[in-house]
Amino acid sequence: MKSAKPLLLLLLLSSVPFASIGEELILRVKVISEQAVSEVNLQHEEGVSQHALSKDKAAGVFVGSVPTGALNGIAENSKVVNPYRAVVTWSDNENDQIFLAFRYPVPPMLAVSVYRDISSFKEEDIDAVDKLGSDYESTFKKYFRAKAFHKHWRHTLALEDHYLALRSARIWFDAAVALGKRPVFRMDADVTAIMREYEEKAKTDRRFAERYRKYVPKVGYIEVTIDQVRAAEFDFVGKIPGLLKAGKFDEAKTLNIKAKETLQDAPMEIRKAVEKHQGVNLDLLERNLTSIPN
């Protein structure tokens, strides 16, 4: 028994560094395409960190195990949402991306799919994309196929105002919103810019507006939806009043500090959206700091 004590102590000590190793993100990227993949990476939005994924030939997916400590900005007292993207670079140097938004705590496992399997760009093809379901996997299918369809009409044919380009943009936008509303994803900046461009054009071009409004009937719908998705990144601020009611003052205060820091850095439109959708603004957070009991 005497000799067992130092061994137990050694085991306990050795378990300390391994505690952080356990906190890792396993990212699985399933790629569905005839095109060969040259690499798959998890990149920070601002390029400050990059993690390559390796191919699991048996499973036919790209897998990467990233310690959460290695993800930039993922710390308990960090900014709340950390923008990342899973980037699939194809052998023709094109790439496809999934926009991710990690926050503390990072989920242990994330499985995403990238589709590059559309080669015909007629109305029947976008009909088939539109008919896809709204489950997790179908959302990826819709997102990538509608995006590819739109890009073909916009860039290859230079017909960005064609009704099929408008229709595919709307399907792409809806799929991007569906993904963006999920906790680990964020809104696709490309489709946001495209829809805003269409909205602007619809204000000045009556003929275009008639065509565009068949796919986006409500004026202002795009902005409201984008705000909702972006405000969803701040959904944690809505938990503060509940924590206060439950008497969890320390937790409420920590969250309040985080929320205040994040909102201070956020653009005005986001602040307004958070106030509208989460009922929280900077004034309230400021007041909370003095009124939450220690």
Partner 1 sequence: MATVDLKSDKPRMIAWAERNQNVAVAVAAIFILLYVAPVLLAAAATIQSDFFMEESAVLVWFAAFMKSSEATLGGVHKVLFPFLVTLSVIAFKDKLNYWVLGLAMFVVLMFMLTVWVGVLLDVDQYRHSLEAQKAAKLDASVARTFFSKMQDTLLMYVALLLGLSATNEKR
Separation in Å, CA 33 to CA 28, 29, 62, 112, 289: 16, 12, 13, 14, 52
Structure tokens at 156: 């290859």
Pairing of strands 61-67, 24-33: antiparallel
Q: What minimum distance in Å lies between the beta carbon of 144 and partner 1?
A: 20
What sign does the dihedral 180-184-189-190 (CA atoms) show?
negative
When the beta carbons of 86 and 165 are compared against partner 1, the nearer one is 165
When the beta carbons of 203 and 213 are compared against partner 1, the nearer one is 213
Q: What minimum distance in Å lies between the beta carbon of 139 and partner 1?
A: 25
Binding site for partner 1 (CB under 8 A): 121-124, 127, 157-159, 161-164, 207, 211
When the beta carbons of 158 and 219 are compared against partner 1, the nearer one is 158
Beta carbons of 71 and 81 less than 8 angstroms apart: no
Q: How many CB atoms lie within 10 A of CB 153?
A: 22
Q: What minimum distance in Å lies between the beta carbon of 216 and partner 1?
A: 14
User: What is the C-alpha separation between 181 and 175, in angstroms, rounded?
Assistant: 10
Structure tokens at 263: 């909102």
When the beta carbons of 80 and 216 are compared against partner 1, the nearer one is 216
Q: What minimum distance in Å lies between the beta carbon of 118 and partner 1?
A: 13
When the beta carbons of 158 and 289 are compared against partner 1, the nearer one is 158
Q: What minimum distance in Å lies between the beta carbon of 193 and partner 1?
A: 21
